[in-house]
Copies of this chain bind each other. A is one copy, B any other.
Amino acid sequence: MKLLLFSAIVLIMMAFNFQKKTRVIFFGDSITQAGAGPGGYIKRIDSMCKAEGKEENFEFIGAGIGGNKVYDLYLRMETDVMAKEPDCVFIYIGVNDVWHKATSGTGTDPDKFEKFYQAIIDKLKARNIKVILCTPAAIGEKTDFSNPQDGDMNAYSNIIRAIAKKNELTLVDLRKAFLDYNLKNNPDNKDRGILTADRVHLNATGNQFVANEMWSVVKKL
């Protein structure tokens, strides 16, 4: 009898332990690459997850590579995403598609940005992977729309917003969230130092901010 009870408990625990975790991949550029490092937003999501006692429910994987644009994601999605059999993928891309126009003449045309973005979604959907979209947060934190790339950043964010709507996908609108935060917390109209260290890459506050935005979506999965 005792043995039976013990066995039952062990089985229940095993079942609990072997419950498949929801595997979440963050698919992006250098921001996500740093996000997987110490103090990065993915590590912070992981910490929040543990703090809420949900470490058995989720598994977080960073798949960010510096300099990536939307078509780079498309090229490496088999090896870096599909092969890992995720349940959910955050697509967090766009900064370099805009920025590289100015720095090396190798940005992405808006129509092609949309085409590749949709192609990534189509492939993920075909495997029943949940897709969550993010707008690119910032290239400069000024609040008066005088960061040089603001026009394009808004235009490309609009493309992502439209894709999210058309595909009925959850959107983490980081661009809007960053602007709202800066309107309250950046009274001197600085171009960096609020949520970013260098106008683009997240500082500690920025990593926590992104982690909060994403965790609030992930925990409802």
Contacts and interface: CB of A to CB of B under 8 A. Distances in A.
A106 B154 CA distance: 18
A154 B158 contact: no
Interface residues of A, number: 33
Interface stretch (A21-29, A54-62, A139-147, A207-215): A139-147
Given A145-B151, A154-B144, A154-B145, A101 B112 contact: no
A149 B152 CA distance: 7
A155 B71 CA distance: 22
Interface string A97-113: 00011111111110010
A106 B152 CA distance: 13
B106 A103 contact: no
Contacts of A151: 140, 145-153
A85 interface: no
Contacts of A101: 102, 104-106
A181 interface: no
Contacts of A147: 151, 155
A8 interface: no
A125 interface: no
Contacts of A74: 71, 74-75
Contacts of A104: 101-103, 109
Interface of A: 71-72, 74-75, 100-109, 112, 115-116, 119, 140, 144-155, 157-158
Q: Which 3 A-B pairs have the closest CB atoms?
A: A150-B151, A101-B105, A146-B154
